[in-house]
Amino acid sequence: MKLTLHVWRQKSPGDRGRMARYEVQANPHMSFLEMLDVLNEELLAKGEDPIAFDHDCREGICGSCGFMINGVAHGPNKATTVCQLHMRHYRDGDVLYLEPWRARAFPVIKDLVVDRCAFDRIIAAGGYISAATGSAPDGNAVPVPKDTADASMDAAACIGCGACVAACPNASASLFTGAKITHLGVLPQGQPERYDRALRMVAQAQQELFGSCTNIGECEAVCPKEIKLEVIARMNRDFIKASWLRRK
């Protein structure tokens, strides 16, 4: 199958960048990133600079890959990362536009690669618990209700890819921050820092210049791990309570 790609090319953070047009032959069984590998081999053979894009595990686990495909984060398939997207979902002759995540907090490094260190700083601001480490405790030592464990594990599925920020008209990181606050805050082990955690992580997200949440829901729609908006509600609830406790 023959595809026409319009890819964002930007040599460095200070470069203005532009869209470049390429023709590529793809096998329907290829993943999207394998298709880009084929294109890059052709570019290298011509002595041209290959297209830079993030990737690591290519199994939808690490959260490294991610960019806009025809204006949709990770492409058209629900609950799918770019590395899990296969070319059989496209047709011969399709025209695709590839762009990096667009957010002030995610500056472009090169081509489709953006700097997502802002996420790391949000986690570092409070994404931990003070429970002692060591050998694994007995599974029944700390009773945890199943619905609580399920809520924690669902939130912990967030891979930090940044699709939520890219899809949000406000470039908000509320879904990511809410997921990181929720997966620790609902468990017994996360209670000692629960409210301080919410204050610190929300403050860091604001410092990174992410936008505010206005409940549009685009973040949930494009999340490859289907994180629910409920984590934002939990984050807001903990943040408001923590703010009142601090005032007292």
pLDDT at 133: 65
Q: What's the residue count for the chain?
A: 248
pLDDT at 248: 65
Answer for the pair 219, 147: CB distance below 8 angstroms, yes or no. Answer: no
Side-chain-facing half-sphere of 26: CA atoms under 13 Å: 30
For the entire predicted model, the pTM comes to: 0.94
Q: Tokens at residue 44, please?
A: 């290298």
Amino acid at 130: S
Task: Name which of 193, 8, 191 is nearest 110 in CA terms.
Answer: 8
Q: Tokens at residue 91, please?
A: 């047709």
Q: How far does Cα 43 stand from its chain's mean position?
A: 28
Distance CA 55, CA 50 (A): 14
Answer for the pair 193, 130: CB distance below 8 angstroms, yes or no. Answer: yes
Answer for the pair 74, 84: CB distance below 8 angstroms, yes or no. Answer: no
**What residues does 22 pair with on adjacent strands?**
5
Domains annotated for the chain, with CATH where assigned, are: 2-109 (3.10.20.30), 116-247 (1.10.1060.10)
Task: Name which of 65, 193, 67, 198 is nearest 122 in CA terms.
Answer: 198
Q: How far does Cα 225 stand from its chain's mean position?
A: 10
Residues of the chain with pLDDT under 50: none
Answer for the pair 224, 83: CB distance below 8 angstroms, yes or no. Answer: no
Sign, CA torsion 70/71/74/80: negative
Distance CA 230, CA 240 (A): 15
Distance CA 83, CA 73 (A): 12
Distance CA 171, CA 166 (A): 6
| CB neighbour list of residue 153: distance below 8 Å, 6 or more residues apart | 183
